[in-house]
Structure 1
Amino acid sequence: MKIKDQPFYIQSTAVLFGLVLFVYSLSQLADVLIPLAFAVFFAILLNPLSNRLQRLKIPKVLSIMISLLVALIVVGIVFYFLSTQIIQFGDALPMLKEKFGAVTADIKEWISSTFGLAVAKQDQMIKDALNNSQSVLGKTLGSVLGTLGIVFLLPVYIFLMLFYKTLILNFLYEVFAEENSKKVSEVLSETKIAIQSYIVGLLIETLIVALMNSTALVLLGVRYGILIGCIGALLNLLPYIGGIIAIALPVLMATVTKDGYSTQLGVILSYIVIQFIDNNVLVPRIVSSKVQINAMMSIVVVLLGNQLWGLPGMFLSIPFIAVLKIIFDRIDGLKPWGKLLGDTVPTRHMGDLWRNRKKRKAVLSKAEQ
């Protein structure tokens, strides 16, 4: 007997068990799946360049290697620029640490005089909080080490995926029934367009936000404004959450290095304006993804991605859920889930429509009588 013929509680139990097993498998195989997931997205991004080189009569292997070399050069330039800024920051770290200690001592004294909480009690609370956060720190360190592993595996995976592209596509077509080939073609085509437009748009958006952040911080006189502005732009890749975290860095730096609070206020106002421009101008016009995910689902998915795969999971969550929405929109039984993920808000809910339909039927039946 088929599952769909079973009572609802059996169907729901089977679905929940399948989801738990699926998520557990993703968690246990993270070291293998994370590099593969990043490789899929970047292989799709580099595929147009590789195809163009092949149309110029360049051999397939050489075309893929040139595409990878171009990508590595761009990434190398970005890391070189950031590393020079980080080195300058490291030279001033002892002085910043000393000033931060003085600011922290003043805050503790203010809390003690205002709220009556002794400094020793505050130190104990901080110590307990640090002890409780060791597991979080270990998870973050694991995410960083995992990210380093991704960096070394990515070029190999991307090369192999581009090389075996035809084999992989043929497998996806053959694994489904022939009558579903049209839907498979639509899903693959829209997935490619969505991922390409999402990643390219995201890179352009990140560059513009980094320029705006850095310009604002330099004009306000915040030390290491270029480095902090670039870090803020990278954090901005995490929807809705990264922007909130990014603002804490320049505010903290201004607090440590400057007297008064005018600079901190200027930083907060500048970042609010930048976030407004980013959310209302850059994202709609530049990050022109073919699939729009609503704000609530974006936040939930990013947090779930962090719980599942840490930092890489946060970056992978949005394009992954975009691909899921494309699939949901093509399958009749899953279309409600696709609508739930989307950002199209209905003006009326189905309950009102059903009640109005029931009233109309009642009126018609009375009229016939």
Structure 2
Amino acid sequence: MVRILRGLAHKYFSDDEAVVLFLLLLAGVLTIIFFGAMLAPVIASVIIAFILQGLVARLTQLGLPELVSIIGGFVVFLGTLAGFLFGLLPLIWAQLASLATEAPRIFREMRSYLELLPEQYPNLISMNAVNDFYHQVTAEAGNVTQWLVSFSLSSIPDLVGLLIYVVLVPILVFFLLKDRRLILRSIARLLPSQRPMMSQIWQEVNQQCANYVRGKAVEILIVGGVTFVTFKLLGVPYAALLSMLVGLSVVIPYIGAAVVTVPVAMIALFAFGWGSHFIWVMVAYGIIQALDGNVLVPLLFSEVNNLHPVVIIVAVLFFGGIWGLWGVFFAIPLATMVKAVFSAWPVRPGSPEELAE
């Protein structure tokens, strides 16, 4: 056992920089696991500043002074935040509350559709299975409705936390943009003076993650906006709520689109019934998904290294299980970082005994 450990240490940790990098990665993972909730505003601010840095760089390339570019990017962020808090969020909340009040009627109609299945497919579906499924769905819907109704004074601590985010995050974002170089130089002083492997990993991860995160933010806005306009034109109820779900579904490749199709189809079915209007809604939704996957994604992520679908799904499940929604959103950048680390990690061939000979 000792010989095996010595061989692994010689092969993977004979370089001083590799040891430092391993300790940094370990410290970062432990910090997020144990202090992630406490540092959530800081983490969110770093992510937002990372996204806005691309806009700041573009404005600087156009000839604007750096401070003016930073203020311009920050104003865009404040405008987007204000639009979400005072425009989109109240609309989504109102539609969610309306959907909760309409839930009993929707479930009654759903039961009428489900009761036809055992008659049409008696060998595949039984009435007991339909009843069990119906009771499970109504129980979960009842829990959601009860939560919406009880959202009052008991939610004041959550509102206070939201206010802290609204005030603290913009301040942090501004100073992270303004003092980015100073912060990076301060961090660099803590690292070894000679760090070719870290520099290689940083350049690859910075380029890949920056392209992915900024592209994904743009993709969410485009897909959600186009879906909202399309559903509004087709008269689909709860268009804002559904478009938000469709926009966020692009965060989870392959899985997100499949999952969000269910509520879109259910609401369209209960609103229009089996008919041409329902078919048009689903065709429009399918066109949006097809254009997103075959046109928008290649345009936005042409410079991002493609990962195998199995790697993407495993990364989504793993990082989502560790860090929840943030882990799901950053599953692909984190997988890219792991790939970059493994590609650049120095490996010394042979064992200590073989080299001694």
TM superposition score normalised by structure 2: 0.68
1:72 alignment partner, one of 69, 78, 92: 78
**Residue 215 of structure 2 corresponds to residue 205 of structure 1:** no
Say which SS state the counterpart of residue 37 (structure 2) adopts: helix
8 Å contact from structure 2 (residues 103, 141) kept in 1: no
Q: How many angstroms does 1:71 deviate by?
A: 0.8
Which runs of no fewer than 5 residues in structure 1 stay unpaired? Answer: 13-17, 134-140, 335-369
8 Å contact from structure 2 (residues 54, 214) kept in 1: no
Paired AA for residue 6 in structure 2? Q
Q: How many angstroms does 1:308 deviate by?
A: 1.2
2:183 alignment partner, one of 168, 176, 180: 168
1:117 alignment partner, one of 101, 111, 128: 128
2:328 alignment partner, one of 305, 314, 324: 314
Structure with bigger RCO (C-alpha 8 Å, 6+ apart): 2
Q: Deviations over 1:51-78 (max 9, x none)?
A: 76798567x6x87555433311123224
Q: How many angstroms does 1:232 deviate by?
A: 0.7
Relative to 1, partners in 2 of residues 1:50 and 1:104: Cα closer, same or farther, differing over 3 Å?
Answer: closer
Say which SS state the counterpart of residue 32 (structure 1) adopts: coil
Q: Who is 1:155 aligned against?
A: 170
Instruction: Please give the residue correspondences for 1:73-88 in structure 2 after superposition, counting only pairs within 5 Å.
Output: 73-83=79-89, 85-86=91-92
Paired AA for residue 173 in structure 2? I
8 Å contact from structure 2 (residues 215, 301) kept in 1: yes
Instruction: Please give the residue correspondences for 1:167-206 in structure 2 after superposition, counting only pairs within 5 Å.
Output: 167-180=182-195, 182-206=196-220
Q: How many angstroms does 1:217 deviate by?
A: 3.0
Q: Who is 1:358 aligned against?
A: none
**Distance of 1:3 and 1:171 partners within structure 2:** 40
Q: Who is 1:249 aligned against?
A: 263
Q: Who is 2:109 aligned against?
A: 103
**Distance of 1:95 and 1:317 partners within structure 2:** 36
Relative to 1, partners in 2 of residues 1:259 and 1:163: Cα closer, same or farther, differing over 3 Å?
Answer: closer
Question: How much is the aligned-residue C-alpha RMSD, in angstroms?
Answer: 4.5
Q: Deviations over 1:136-162 (max 9, x none)?
A: xxxxx9xx9999475554324333433
**Residue 282 of structure 2 corresponds to residue 276 of structure 1:** no
8 Å contact from structure 2 (residues 251, 328) kept in 1: no
Q: Who is 1:228 aligned against?
A: 242
Q: Deviations over 1:78-128 (max 9, x none)?
A: 444423643663574476334313213314543676524288756665578
Say which SS state the counterpart of residue 112 (structure 2) adopts: helix
Instruction: Please give the residue correspondences for 1:8-157 in structure 2 after superposition, counting only pairs within 5 Å.
Output: 26-47=32-53, 64=70, 67-83=73-89, 85-86=91-92, 89=95, 92-93=98-99, 96-107=102-113, 109-110=115-116, 114=122, 115-117=126-128, 148=162, 153-157=168-172
1:288 alignment partner, one of 279, 294, 302: 302
Q: Who is 2:150 aligned against?
A: none
Say which SS state the counterpart of residue 274 (structure 1) adopts: helix
Q: How many angstroms does 1:281 deviate by?
A: 1.7
Relative to 1, partners in 2 of residues 1:185 and 1:260: Cα closer, same or farther, differing over 3 Å?
Answer: same
Q: Deviations over 1:13-43 (max 9, x none)?
A: xxxxx99998665332221354443333322
Say which SS state the counterpart of residue 178 (structure 1) adopts: coil
**Distance of 2:161 and 2:307 partners within structure 1:** 26
Q: Deviations over 1:314-368 (max 9, x none)?
A: 112222332333333333449xxxxxxxxxxxxxxxxxxxxxxxxxxxxxxxxxx
8 Å contact from structure 2 (residues 201, 344) kept in 1: yes
8 Å contact from structure 1 (residues 223, 253) kept in 2: yes
Relative to 1, partners in 2 of residues 1:307 and 1:147: Cα closer, same or farther, differing over 3 Å?
Answer: farther
**Distance of 2:288 and 2:192 partners within structure 1:** 49
**Distance of 2:111 and 2:215 partners within structure 1:** 44
Paired AA for residue 222 in structure 1? V
Q: Deviations over 1:167-222 (max 9, x none)?
A: 43234544444332x44444334433333322332233233323442354345442
8 Å contact from structure 2 (residues 107, 138) kept in 1: no
TM superposition score normalised by structure 1: 0.67
**Distance of 1:312 and 1:25 partners within structure 2:** 15
Percent identity between matched residues is 24
Say which SS state the counterpart of residue 285 (structure 2) adopts: helix
8 Å contact from structure 1 (residues 45, 195) kept in 2: no
Q: Who is 1:324 aligned against?
A: 338
